[in-house]
Amino acid sequence: MSVHVVAARPFAFRFETRHTALIVIDMQRDFIEAGGFGESLGNDVSRLQAIVPTVKSLLFACREAGMLVIHTREGHRSDLADCPPAKRDRGSPKLRIGEAGPMGRLLVVGEPGQAIVPELLPLPGEMVIDKPGKGAFYATALGAILKAHAITHLIFAGVTTEVCVQTTMREANDRGFECLLIEDATESYFPDFKAATIAMIIAQGGIVGSSAALSELTLALSAEPVVA
CB of 63 to ligand TIU, least distance (A): 22
Q: Which of residues 37-56 bind ligand TIU (CB under 6 A)?
A: 41
83/159 with CB nearer ligand TIU: 159
CB of 215 to ligand TIU, least distance (A): 25
Binding mask 1-40 for ligand TIU (x = CB under 6 A): -------------------------x----x---------
Instruction: Check residue 159 for interaction with ligand TIU (CB under 6 A).
Output: yes
Sorted by sequence, the CB contacts under 8 Å of residue 47 that are 6+ apart come out as 187, 188, 189, 191
- SS3 state at 57: helix
Q: Are strands 13-15 and 2-6 parallel, antiparallel or unpaired?
A: antiparallel
Q: Side by side, which strands form the sheet with 226-227? A: 13-15, 2-6, 226-227
Amino acid of residue 198? I
Task: Exactly one of 83, 130, 131, 179 is catalytic; name it.
Answer: 131
* Catalytic residue flag (residue 179): no
Give the Cα separation of 228 and 223 in Å (integer). Answer: 15
Total chain residues near ligand TIU (CB under 6 A): 9
26/33 with CB nearer ligand TIU: 26
DSSP 122: P
Give the Cα separation of 76 and 29 in Å (integer). Answer: 15
* Catalytic residue flag (residue 26): yes
CB of 65 to ligand TIU, least distance (A): 26
Give the Cα separation of 49 and 188 in Å (integer). Answer: 10
Other residues' Cβ atoms within 10 Å of the Cβ of residue 48:
25
One residue of 55, 146, 164, 185 binding ligand TIU per CB under 6 A: 164
* Catalytic residue flag (residue 130): no
One residue of 74, 178, 183, 187 binding ligand TIU per CB under 6 A: 74
Question: Do 37 and 121 touch, CB atoms closer than 8 A?
Answer: no
Kindly indicate which of the ranges 4-12, 76-84, 160-168, 204-212 contains the residues binding ligand TIU, using the contact rule CB under 6 A: 160-168
One residue of 17, 160, 168, 197 binding ligand TIU per CB under 6 A: 160
For residue 72, cis peptide bond before it (omega within 30 degrees of 0): no
Interface with ligand TIU (CB under 6 A): 26, 31, 41, 74, 159-160, 163-164, 189
Query: Which residues are the active-site residues?
Result: 26, 131, 164
